[in-house]
Chains A and B, each alone.
Chain A
């Protein structure tokens, strides 16, 4: 396995007016990793993703993907290079049925170049491939669910649709922004094998999560953010044991309290 990081995030800083949302945040992502990014609300997790994927211009810092500097590239070029993301506030195409939602990413230049996930981009009927992708993701194939309008689908399906949208591009990296949020235990239980299978298929993942128990099961490295700064980075055991992290999440007086119930 090559030692060169797939994605290098170097000293990313972002200020919104007077508020420093991110302060010199950096990490390296190697191929095959699943990196978790955790932190209390407002710590800048989604801002990091927006900066990496080009939806927000950084005040300072560099992002290097596969050796190329993507700090100033527009979002569609970054997605075209293989670095995709899902949205925390879900954004399906409400007026279209679920499987038609996938026709759009399959129509993109990247899908047409690489053939798309399971070969739907260049040739092949995008509708059919869309249904195939949905089946892989967990929509029941023979039911009417893939044909329903996206505006009528419940959250669990919409989350998977987001993931499917990224998959259709045959990406190298998927950044999942709170993909477990809003799901029930059984829905998460069915998504975790999906994530593991994505890793086996060679996709590198960055997962921003609040649901730590599920995240620690899949992630091999975890980074903690607090108030826009990187607190620490390590394996899930190291992070769970760290005093600083507990303080950030719970406040110092309550750490004892929680630890006694852990």
Chain B
């Protein structure tokens, strides 16, 4: 029973982490390797605003997410836009910027146990026989809400529909007057904000450490590869698969293996079904 609950929580957490990456890749085909960096820097900004400036928690979150969104947009506008289309250069450029941010934060002094964010709501409730803290329940609720919101956004708003159009066929979207660069910018900003949202929800469960940036990157990529690069539904489904697998390994083998699970998931997917669960990149197997 507790496996179910913690599995659910872990899966939603993974989905939150991966959605930002999946969004950016699905729309603009840019693998944003600075995803982990955006996650951590959002946490850093919230912490600075909260502890350093003394701003209200809720306000800090809003400001931080906006700042992170702006950073994401800047990364796109000044760096990624120049290497758009060259997949390897995009990876190197976004990875290098992500590294610069993460290692810069590390040098600045972000290490160890001293930096934490408070949980939203103290206390816990009992579900079945299992004690679950409020914050984790909140994570699930907000996570589901985010997925729902994204679905509504991309199906019913103009910008959302434009994003979906770009994701399906860039050339056709261009012909319909949808500016691909602007859409990619919006996608990056959205993706960055989603990373920030994930950070805000998940960092209070631990502490703000630069290592988390790399872990987040690995997990986001694992989820997206298993689910199929470019498919949002696939990412959600894959996060459940990997989430439950991680909890099962924690229970039966040991809690250190979470990264191993992610890596194994990637390798197995690449061997068995390279395009992932819902991958639209059937071209991997059949390209001419």
Contacts and interface: CB of A to CB of B under 8 A. Distances in A.
A and B: bona fide binding partners: yes
A57 B288 CA distance: 11
Contacts of B288: 46, 50, 55-56
Given A55-B286, A55-B287, A56-B286, 6 more contacts: A46-B288, A50-B288, A55-B288, A56-B288, A57-B285, A57-B286
Interface string A29-70: 000000000000000001000100001110000000000000
Nearest to B286: A56
A56 B284 CA distance: 11
Interface in B274-288: 285-288
Contacts of B287: 55
The interface centre, meaning the residue of B286, B287, B288 with most chain A CB atoms within 10 A of its CB, is B288
Indicate the size class of the contact surface on chain B. under 10
A50 B288 CA distance: 8
The 3 residue pairs across chains A and B that have the minimum distance between CB atoms: A55-B288, A56-B286, A50-B288
Contacts of A56: 286, 288
9 contacts: A46-B288, A50-B288, A55-B286, A55-B287, A55-B288, A56-B286, A56-B288, A57-B285, A57-B286
Interface string B251-288: 00000000000000000000000000000000001111
Nearest to A75: B288
Contacts, number: 9
A135 B285 CA distance: 37
Contacts of B286: 55-57
Contacts of B285: 57
A187 to B, nearest CB: 25
A58 to B, nearest CB: 10
A50 B287 CA distance: 10
Nearest to A47: B288
A217 B288 CA distance: 30
Interface in B176-213: none
B234 to A, nearest CB: 16
A46 B288 CA distance: 10
Contacts of A50: 288
A56 B287 CA distance: 7
A48 B287 CA distance: 14
Contacts of A57: 285-286
A147 to B, nearest CB: 30
A224 B285 CA distance: 29
Contacts of A46: 288
A177 to B, nearest CB: 10
A55 B288 CA distance: 6
A76 to B, nearest CB: 14
The interface centre, meaning the residue of B285, B286, B287 with most chain A CB atoms within 10 A of its CB, is B286
Interface in B50-70: none
A46 B287 CA distance: 13
A50 B286 CA distance: 9
A56 B285 CA distance: 8
Interface in A205-262: none
B113 to A, nearest CB: 52
A137 B60 CA distance: 72
Nearest to A89: B288
B122 to A, nearest CB: 51
Nearest to A14: B286
Nearest to A57: B286
B252 to A, nearest CB: 38
Nearest to B280: A17
A55 B284 CA distance: 11
B164 to A, nearest CB: 17
Nearest to A50: B288
A47 to B, nearest CB: 9
Nearest to A16: B282
A104 B145 CA distance: 56
